[in-house]
């Protein structure tokens, strides 16, 4: 299919008679309720179920392999290729399906708060609540911006449209297919709205490096003195929780770009995990779940109150809400150059220290490693903690090679005065099942000390496992807690577990053979 033909057909679809164009939040809530897509909670948020899929489907994600992408995409298990012909068949199937619906919903907006790097997007959805989700997560245009809006990327989201693997070249009936040549994302066979969010993030991870912008899977906030902090981390490490700090202003909770001007949020909203959510622990997130917000797979009690402790549907319960719902959020969400970077890991083995200062080489090593751990019960077949490595703390969303993004980080660390810390929000005193989870209040104390510069004046001790530099004498933090080995009842058991974890780090890093020897050796002094 030629690009001009596709664009003409796409324009006809977007402006079809069945389209409700740029509906307001109240209209989308009413549409969702009248179509029985969800129900209102006691706080006014829309509660929905995502059906069979309560998380992303990474095995069903594809990129069209063509002249644009054949030499630029890091092909493999994460970035699976699909042919232009297969894309064309799926495109026609999705278009035909959406044209036959009595109503479809179109949102026009942006990805990227910095106007110099902003990507105009449009999202067509079969469900009203999916369009509401898009309005919460992406950047809504002003009236003037809307009147001049020309989409450069389109998402067509049709959960009821299913692929035929025999005909369409897919693994299953579910598909998330991106064509960088046609500037179109097709999503079908799944109701999980996070696929939209991450599809556009993946697009930005491909497009921004062309503009010399470093795209990052991180949250960001800013202090009263204008100091900017970035928090990298995989799901469950505390990225959203720790960036939503009452003492600082939130820039964004998940996706950012780092340009020569500074940083900017790619999104206009937040998508927070809310299992175990309480107002005491996470007041900003708790209070943001009001009218217009979307709650996914959260069980409600008879009074319509969300039961955030109930994981009957999934542990991956989520809340989508606009940045405007966060008290003192930075709007527009742009800021100056960062001064502190925090790599978050939830180490279920109880080996890593709760905070450590990293050299540039160690920062590059841990960025490429992207370590955290999966816990027993989070996935079928996992009966004990498992080390998990996701390059650049976001491998599923990186179309290009991880080494490409690591080079961008290295260039930023050379150009800017940035301190980098590794923070373990996982276990202390032993592994999962023996030790305890690091208290959130203690983690906040350590991070506040890092952000304020308080740690600069403290001596550090280099621990012998990974060669990490541990600050000494952090106010309010018990000294022994800073040294994991001292918190274990049996130091010999700690040594054994630490050696096992180091071995897993080294085995994972084998795929990055060829990086500078100083980076490879930064994983630790143990031979």
Residues noted as catalytic: 56, 198, 217, 235, 239-240, 254, 318
Let me know: does 152 contact 246? Beta carbons within 8 Å.
no
Let me know: does 29 contact 47? Beta carbons within 8 Å.
no
| 307 vs 298: CA distance, rounded Å | 7
| 187 vs 130: CA distance, rounded Å | 12
391 CB-near residues (< 8 Å, 6+ apart):
368, 369, 370, 398, 402
Long-range interactions of 507-510: CB distance < 8 A, separation 24+: 508/369, 508/371, 508/387, 508/389, 509/365, 509/368, 509/369
| 458 vs 297: CA distance, rounded Å | 45
| 437 vs 361: CA distance, rounded Å | 28
The position carrying tokens 């006014």 is 44
Opening angle at CA 133, ends 130 and 137, nearest 5:
140
Task: Classify residue 320 as exposed, middle or buried by CB count within 10 Å of its CB (0-12, 13-18, 19+).
Answer: buried
Q: What is the DSSP string of 464-480?
A: TTT--EEE---TTS-GG
| 33 vs 128: CA distance, rounded Å | 9
Let me know: does 284 contact 326? Beta carbons within 8 Å.
yes
């Amino acid at each position: 299919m030629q690009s001009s033909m596709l664009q003409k057909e796409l324009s006809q679809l977007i402006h079809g008679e069945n389209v409700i164009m740029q509906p307001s939040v109240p209209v989308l809530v009413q549409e969702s309720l009248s179509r029985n897509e969800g129900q209102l909670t006691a706080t006014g948020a829309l509660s929905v179920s995502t059906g069979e899929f309560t998380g992303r489907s990474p095995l069903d994600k594809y990129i069209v392999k063509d002249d644009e992408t054949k030499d630029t995409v890091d092909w493999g298990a994460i970035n699976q290729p699909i042919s232009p012909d297969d894309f064309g068949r799926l495109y026609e199937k999705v278009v035909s399906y959406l044209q036959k619906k009595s109503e479809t919903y179109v949102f026009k907006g942006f990805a990227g708060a910095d106007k110099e790097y902003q990507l105009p997007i449009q999202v067509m959805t079969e469900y009203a609540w999916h369009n509401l989700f898009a309005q919460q997560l992406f950047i809504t245009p002003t009236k003037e911006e809307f009147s001049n809006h020309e989409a450069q990327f389109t998402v067509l989201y049709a959960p009821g449209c299913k692929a035929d693997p025999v005909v369409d070249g897919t693994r299953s009936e579910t598909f998330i297919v991106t064509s960088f040549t046609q500037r179109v994302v097709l999503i079908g066979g799944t109701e999980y709205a996070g696929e939209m969010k991450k599809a556009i993030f993946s697009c930005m991870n491909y497009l921004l490096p062309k503009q010399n912008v470093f795209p990052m899977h991180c949250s960001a906030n800013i202090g009263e003195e204008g100091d900017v902090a970035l928090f990298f981390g995989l799901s469950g490490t505390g990225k959203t929780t720790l960036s939503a700090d009452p003492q600082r202003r939130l820039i964004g909770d998940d996706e950012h770009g780092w340009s020569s001007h500074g940083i900017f949020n790619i999104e206009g909203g937040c998508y927070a995990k809310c299992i175990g959510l309480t107002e005491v622990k996470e007041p900003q997130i708790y209070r943001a779940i009001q009218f217009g917000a979307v709650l996914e797979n959260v069980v409600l009690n008879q009074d319509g109150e969300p039961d955030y402790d109930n994981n009957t549907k999934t542990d991956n319960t989520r809340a989508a809400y606009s940045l405007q719902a966060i008290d003192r959020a930075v709007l527009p969400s742009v800021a100056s150059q960062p001064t502190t970077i925090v790599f978050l890991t939830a180490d279920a083995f109880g080996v890593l220290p709760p905070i450590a200062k990293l050299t540039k080489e160690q920062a590059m090593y841990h960025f490429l490693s992207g370590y955290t751990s999966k816990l027993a019960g989070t996935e079928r077949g996992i009966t004990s903690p498992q080390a998990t490595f996701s390059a650049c703390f976001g491998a599923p969303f990186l179309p290009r090679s991880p080494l490409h993004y690591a080079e961008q980080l290295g260039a930023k660390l050379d150009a800017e005065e940035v301190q980098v810390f590794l923070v373990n929000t996982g276990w202390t005193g032993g592994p999962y099942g023996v030790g305890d989870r690091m208290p959130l209040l203690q983690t906040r104390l350590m991070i506040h000390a890092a952000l304020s510069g308080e740690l600069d004046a403290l001596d550090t001790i280099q621990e012998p496992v990974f060669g990490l530099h541990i600050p000494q004498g952090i106010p309010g933090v018990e000294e022994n807690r800073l040294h994991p080995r001292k918190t274990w009842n049996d130091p010999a058991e700690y040594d054994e577990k630490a050696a096992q974890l180091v071995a897993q780090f080294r085995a994972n890093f084998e795929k990055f053979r060829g990086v500078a020897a100083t980076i490879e050796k930064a994983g630790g002094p143990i031979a």
